[in-house]
């Protein structure tokens, strides 16, 4: 009988520390929120894309994709910072030096539908100066 009582006492004393599990869950939630926010910063939400009814939809995006945004007023952003065409060239040259296969890095230029072509062509010329050629312009499908 005494062994049975000891077994019952041992099983009642065994508990899972729930407070540390809750801490881990909150850390994971914070991690996923931060990484999702960083991913959204690449695409400038202020840009309204032109309609491209005959364009091909993007099925999957390469994680190495470099996104260049051209706003309506002609300002250019990469990531979350304003850049000049010279800075675009410098940043892409830095990427070329560190990449394993720099010629396969996709570059996406997102131009606002009211941006003058001159501003978008400045971004294209900055990319052209680096010798990278896997460049695409984005649009949106009709709603």
Given a cut of 90, is residue 105 above it in pLDDT? no
3-state secondary structure the chain: CHHHHHHHHHHHHCCCCHHHHHHHHHHHHHHHHHHHHHHHHCCCCCCCECECCCCCCCCCCCCCCEEEEECCCCCEEECCEEECHHHHHHHHHHHHHHCCCHHHCCEEEEEECCCCHHHHHHHHHHHHCCCCCCEEECCECCC
Q: Which domain holds residue 127?
A: 1-143
Res 76: pLDDT: 92
Going by C-alpha positions, the residue among 69, 94, 92, 95 that lies closest to residue 80 is 69
Res 11: pLDDT: 57
pTM above 0.75, yes or no: no
Q: 55: domain CATH number?
A: 3.30.420.270
Q: How many domains does the chain have?
A: 1
Q: pLDDT tens digits, residue range 6-39?
A: 665 555 656 677 888 888 888 888 887 777 655 5
């Amino acid at each position: 009988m005494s062994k049975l009582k000891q077994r019952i006492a041992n099983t009642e004393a065994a508990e899972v520390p729930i407070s540390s599990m809750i801490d881990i869950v909150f850390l994971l939630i914070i991690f996923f929120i931060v990484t999702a926010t960083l991913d959204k910063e690449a695409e400038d939400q202020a840009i309204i894309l032109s309609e491209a009814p005959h364009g091909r939809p993007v099925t999957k995006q390469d994680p190495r994709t470099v996104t260049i945004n051209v706003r309506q007023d002609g300002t250019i952003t990469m990531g979350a910072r304003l850049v000049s065409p010279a800075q675009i060239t410098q940043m892409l040259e830095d990427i070329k030096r560190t990449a394993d296969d720099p010629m396969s890095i996709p570059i996406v230029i997102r131009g606002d539908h009211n941006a003058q072509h001159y501003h978008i062509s400045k971004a294209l010329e900055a990319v052209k100066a680096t010798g990278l050629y896997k460049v695409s312009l984005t649009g949106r499908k009709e709603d």
